[in-house]
Structure 1
Amino acid sequence: MFRSTESEPAVYAIVRAGGRQEKVATGDVVELDRVSGEPGSTLELPAVLLVDGSSVTSDAAALAKVKVTAEVVAHTKGPKIEILHYKNKSGHRVRQGHRSKLTQVKVTGITTGK
């Protein structure tokens, strides 16, 4: 996650994205599992928790009004993961690799719905 060197932001949210939860604030660029959409398109992320200054919102009814909007920046790939299966004396050796498909999104706004 790319974040500026400022202190803790006044408003941030924990959002659900790609089976994980990410802490985001306005202006953050976050890498998520691949989402559909071309660079420049917008999407909405569901909020799990909202922190606005000293108030913390975790009620499902209140979080239904919260909107976290993000803009797709680019589609990328994660680091190469190399997998090697080896068995001694039998000559069994199998190499595999894997790279996750990711999407960089920039959080454009968090509206609390008040």
Structure 2
Amino acid sequence: MAVGDIVEVDKISDGKVGDQVELSTLLVVDGDAVTSDPWVLAGIKVQAEIVDHHKGAKIDILKYKNKTGYRKRIGHRQQYTALKITAIPSAAK
């Protein structure tokens, strides 16, 4: 991800559109340099802004048992939050 990218994550329930969010870093790839040491990444937080809350596509779940007449239909729509990456601090200290 880079500054300016829009990323979809599971819904952040306590955030409103326009709020700033800090995301913890798991891996930093900068050209040929790859950093995955938890001690180095502990102080690095990616800054993002909440752009939108929306629902994903509907998923239909059908349950059926043969010869019994049992049929059940369930639907699900996952809720997502769109985040715009505003700042990625450097891993070099």
- TM-based fold match above 0.5: yes
Q: CA RMSD in A?
A: 1.3
| Offset of residue 87 of structure 1 | 1.8
Q: Quick check: which one's strand share is greater?
A: 1
| Offset of residue 29 of structure 1 | 0.6
1:58, 1:94 → 2: CA distance?
46
Deviations 1:57-78 (Å, cap 9, x if unpaired)? 1111110122201000000001
Unaligned runs of 5+ in 2: none
Find the counterpart in structure 1 of residue 4 from structure 2. Answer: 27
Find the counterpart in structure 2 of residue 16 from structure 1. Answer: none
Unaligned runs of 5+ in 1: 1-23
Q: How does 1:6-85 map to 2 (within 5 A)?
A: 24-35=1-12, 36-85=14-63
Secondary structure class of the residue paired with 2:40: helix
Secondary structure class of the residue paired with 1:111: coil
2:87, 2:30 → 1: CA distance?
13
Greater RCO, CA 8 A, separation 6+: 2
TM-score (ref. length: structure 2) = 0.89
Aligned 8 A contact 1:67 1:112 in 2? no
Query: Identity of paired residues, percent?
Result: 52
Structure 1 consecutive aligned stretches of length 4 or more whose deviation exceeds 6 Å: none
Instruction: Give the partner amino acid of 2:2.
Output: A
